[in-house]
Amino acid sequence: MDVATRRRAWLLLLLLGALLLRSRCMGDVFLEGHVLPFDPDSSYHLWRIEEAARHPPWPPRFDPFVNAPQGAAVIYPDGFDGLMGTVAFVLSGGAPTRRSVQLVALLANPLLGTLALLALYPLGRQAFGRRAALGAVALGAMLPGHVFPGLLGRVDHHVFELLVPPLVLALLLAEGRRAARVLGAASLLGALPYLVPTALLHAALLGAALVCAGLRAAWLGARPATLLLDSAVAFAGAAAVVLPDALTRHGLAYEAPSRLPLLLLLLGAGALGLLYLASWGGMRRLLGGLLLLGLAGAVGAAVWLRDALGYLGGGGPLALVVEAQPVWADPWRSLQTHTLALPLLPVLFVALAWPSSTRSVPPAAWAVSAMGLGGVALVCLQGRFEALLAGPLALGLGAGAAALWRGRMRWAVVLAGATVLAPAVLLLSQLTLLTPDALAVLEATVWLRQHTPPVGPRQGRTSPPYTLLSLWGEGSHLAYLAERPVVAGSFFHGEYEAGYRDAISILYGDGDPEPVLARRRVRYLVLPAQPSWIEGAHRNMLGLGPPQAPTLYTQLYDFDGSSVTGQGGALVQARGQLRLRFESAIATRRDGRIVPAMKIFERVPGALLEGSCSGRLVRLRLRHPLESGRVVEFLSASPCQGGRFRLRLPYPGSAELIRGPSLEAITVTEQDVQLGRSVPAP
């Protein structure tokens, strides 16, 4: 077997192993009678893909089930969901079902993730050689930052962040068939804003990488640097591809589809074209043009950063930190995702681009190093941008390993590789999608579908009769899996922000939540177990300090809505219009205590109990059995004012009323609770 055949065989085996690794959680996704998506964004994408499969190729641009009952304009571009929906429509023979759409979308993700590995090979070969390219594929196959976007169980656009940028670079940096290469790069670059919300960051990184490669080409004597001209044409062509979508958008927002990608692609084409013209005057003029463009870009970046900080920090000083999620927020997880080499990556990328008397560095190496340095900077500011670094990280580590291997330091390569990759391997070996939180969401979904009235399809601009109140990912999952409208999901950009702010003000604020609950038509509150720091973070976003009394979330989750006392012994009255209907059989921890992973409360009018009294307080106790077998003990208290008291009861049954020394039995019916009837105390 010759060397080329052996290399192709190794490449095929690596790709097959990568596909199997990305599919290892299949049993956690396809459950008996259920499909469990990995993360909230997957549920959101699956809804849009299903609608696109029914009306190919257009996914909906309005979401009536999040920020309910008002709904919200979708903040994702159409390309990913439209493409997946069209494929599902074709493969299902024009009669797509929810199950067929789920199968196509979920199985496509690991296939695309494996193809993204294959896309690294030509770029790695141009930059560092065939052995380094093969090493990059091997490392990318097991790096969590490359595995997670292509994981089976996830349906998300992030997989295209791995696939498209290295292909664009490989096409523009290759040789021969110039027109076809530029056309292909323009098409891929133009497709990126249709597929990925963060396409602007990828375009900026690609532009910087191509400028660095052009500088290296000019340094090596390629004057004028035709790479810069090819790149300018590719950016201009990408702008032409984006133009039809831009004509249907408005404004220049960066948190939602707008005309900003078209503008920045045109600016990128102009900047690369100017640098190409400057390269005719030699290296000095090229560097001068780059300096001027750098100053202009710095001014533009400062303006953008000011707006971004104002946008992200609009909810309080800690909102920016909550949104940014820098690597130091969870350093161990960052090292597991990006390997122990993360702190040394800037040094590695600079070393790979540094020429010497014994080593000539091609332009492609400068491009990869620039992409890597940019990816490190972005990941340090925003940990979830792991897909921007995953490809350059695999290429950089592959090139470093190949260099040591050629230097006959093979034991050092094996030892260093095992050490650097150990946290990543540990993370992947412990990976499971059936976490307590995920199982609790599945439990809640089944209960809601069986015990709550349906509200109709998630289509058009219909206003649902009632909503669920939950937060973050649980909301997105419930909107798709339970097919029930929610006040807030995993988004807080654009029109989704209103629902998110109402949700956190209800659960964690200091005011009376009832007016907002009524305005939002909330009938059920679906509450996952959360550590107390989450409440503190949300109160900071509301501009509030530590609570003087238990918040609604704490009163419901820890006390089942019963009366409690706040600081100084102040009475916090019971939540007489919220009753516990469901609690998960899955156990989890909340601040060191074992608690149910999920609780669902129903909002009802509540029976009104009123009568005469003497003394300071009137107390009531009612025991109500749940389906789980636990008996809820609902405790309520009301001050005696003017010789009268008023109490609301959310449960039917026999209650014990304590007025002074006397103990009396009061019977409340379900009709009393549902109609808000007044029940006089004897």
Q: Which residues contact 106 (CB under 8 A, 6 or more apart)?
A: 29, 35, 37, 152, 153, 155
- At residue 208's C-alpha, the angle toward residues 204 and 210, to 5°, is 115
For 243, the token pair is 């133009």
pLDDT of residue 119: 93
Q: Which residues contact 139 (CB under 8 A, 6 or more apart)?
A: 394, 397, 398, 401, 421
- Residue 251: closest CA among 78, 58, 75, 496: 75
- CA-atom Rg of the chain in angstroms: 29
pLDDT of residue 284: 65
How far is 469 from 426, CA to CA, in rounded Å?
A: 36
Percentage helix, strand, coil for the chain under 3-state DSSP, each rounded to 5: 55, 15, 30
Strands 522-528 and 467-469: parallel
Q: Mark out the alpha helices in 30-129 (DSSP H runs).
A: 40-54, 79-91, 98-128
The sign of the torsion formed by the CA atoms of 581, 667, 559, 472 equals: positive
Place of tokens 């230097």: 407
Q: pTM of whole model > 0.95?
A: no
Give SS3 for 191. Answer: helix
- Residue 603: closest CA among 537, 534, 493, 519: 519
**Furthest CA-CA distance within the chain:** 100
Place of tokens 């249907």: 248
Whether the CB-CB separation of 41 and 143 falls below 8 Å is answered with no
pLDDT of residue 216: 87
The neighbouring-strand residues paired with 622 are: 634, 655
For 493, the token pair is 């950009």
Q: Which residues contact 512 (CB under 8 A, 6 or more apart)?
A: none
Cα 594 to Cα 115, 434, 579, 585, 600, distances in angstroms:
43, 19, 21, 12, 17
Place of tokens 């300071």: 616
Give SS3 for 525. Answer: strand
How far is 200 from 192, CA to CA, in rounded Å?
A: 9
Contacts 24+ apart (CB under 8 A), 216-223: 216/361, 216/362, 216/363, 216/365, 216/366, 217/363, 218/279, 218/283, 218/286, 219/283, 220/363, 223/279, 223/280, 223/282
Q: 632-654 burial string, b = 16+ CB within 10 Å, else e?
A: bebebbbebeeeebebbbbbbbe
- The residue type found at 8 is R
How far is 248 from 548, CA to CA, in rounded Å?
A: 49
Whether the CB-CB separation of 136 and 48 falls below 8 Å is answered with no
Whether the CB-CB separation of 680 and 611 falls below 8 Å is answered with yes
How far is 407 from 173, CA to CA, in rounded Å?
A: 27
- The residue type found at 128 is F
Q: If residue 156 lies in a helix (H) or strand (E), which one and from where to where?
A: none
For 362, the token pair is 């091609």
Q: Mark out the alpha helices in 548-628 (DSSP H runs).
A: 552-559
- Residue 353: closest CA among 292, 400, 294: 400
Phi, psi angles (nearest 5°) of residue 264: -70, -35
pLDDT of residue 187: 96
Count CB atoms within 10 A of the CB of residue 460.
11
How far is 267 from 275, CA to CA, in rounded Å?
A: 12
Write out the DSSP string of 446-515: HHHHHHS-----S-TT---S-EEE--HHHHHHIIIII---BS--S--STTHHHHHHHHHHHHH-SS-SHH
Count CB atoms within 10 A of the CB of residue 356.
7
Q: Which residues contact 223 (CB under 8 A, 6 or more apart)?
A: 279, 280, 282
Strands 617-625 and 593-596: unpaired
465-493, pLDDT tens digit by residue? 999 999 778 999 999 999 999 999 888 77
pLDDT of residue 302: 59
Phi, psi angles (nearest 5°) of residue 612: -85, 160
Given a cut of 70, the residues of the chain with pLDDT beneath it are: 1, 223, 282-290, 292-326, 328-329, 357-359, 407-409
How far is 275 from 272, CA to CA, in rounded Å?
A: 5
**Structure letter (DSSP) for residue 362:** P
pLDDT of residue 629: 85
Q: Which residues contact 526 (CB under 8 A, 6 or more apart)?
A: 444, 448, 468, 469, 470, 474, 478, 598, 599, 600
Q: If residue 522 lies in a helix (H) or strand (E), which one and from where to where?
A: strand 522-528
Whether the CB-CB separation of 336 and 144 falls below 8 Å is answered with yes
How far is 583 from 581, CA to CA, in rounded Å?
A: 7
The neighbouring-strand residues paired with 610 are: 646, 680
Total residue length of the chain: 682
How far is 649 from 622, CA to CA, in rounded Å?
A: 9
pLDDT of residue 198: 86
Q: What is the dihedral of CA 192, 197, 203, 206, to 10 degrees?
A: -80
Q: If residue 547 lies in a helix (H) or strand (E), which one and from where to where?
A: none
489-542, pLDDT tens digit by residue? 888 778 888 999 999 999 999 989 999 999 999 999 999 999 988 898 888 888
- The residue type found at 275 is L
How far is 210 from 395, CA to CA, in rounded Å?
A: 17
